[in-house]
Amino acid sequence: MTEEEKIVMVKAMSDETDDAVISAFLSAAGEELYHYVDPFETTAKEDVLEQYGFAQAKLAAYRLNKRGWDFEVSHNENGIGRSYETGDIPASILKELTPKAGVV
C-alpha cells in the first residue's frame, strides 16, 4: 500500500483533510507498529510497513479521531458516552499483528 493510498484511507476514516497532519500521524503509527512487530529491528522498516499498511492507516485514523481526548477511559456528558480501548495500540489492531521473537 502506497503512502498516497494510506492518506486517502485515513481521510475516509477521519475528518482530517490536511495531508501534512495525516502524514505525521501515519509516520508515528508506522514507528509504533514497527517497534511492536520487530522490537529487535531485524527486518527493514519498509518491509514491515508494507505488510501492515492497513493496520498503520487504522492506527493513524484511531489517533486522529481521539485527538483532544488522549488516554480517556470513560466520559459521559448529556447522554453521550465515550471510552477508549486500554493500552497504546488498541486490541482490535493488535490482533492483526504478529510480533517477531528472538532468543535473548
Q: What are the residue boundaries of the structural domains of the chain, listed by start?
A: 3-94
pLDDT tens for each residue of 34-93:
999 999 999 999 999 999 999 999 999 999 988 866 666 777 888 888 776 666 788 889
Number of C-beta neighbours around residue 100 at 10 A: 13
Say whether pLDDT at 7 is over 90. yes
Q: Which residues are paired to 76 by β-bridges?
A: 81
Residue 47, number of CB atoms within 10 A of its CB: 11
Whole-structure pTM value: 0.82
pLDDT at 71: 61
pLDDT for 89 equals 86
Query: Quick one: pLDDT at residue 70?
Result: 61
Query: Are 26 and 1 within 8 A, CB to CB?
Result: no
10 Å CB burial of residue 84 (0-12, 13-18, 19+) is: middle
Handedness of CA 30, 31, 33, 39 (dihedral sign): positive
Q: What is the mean pLDDT of residues 15-41?
A: 95
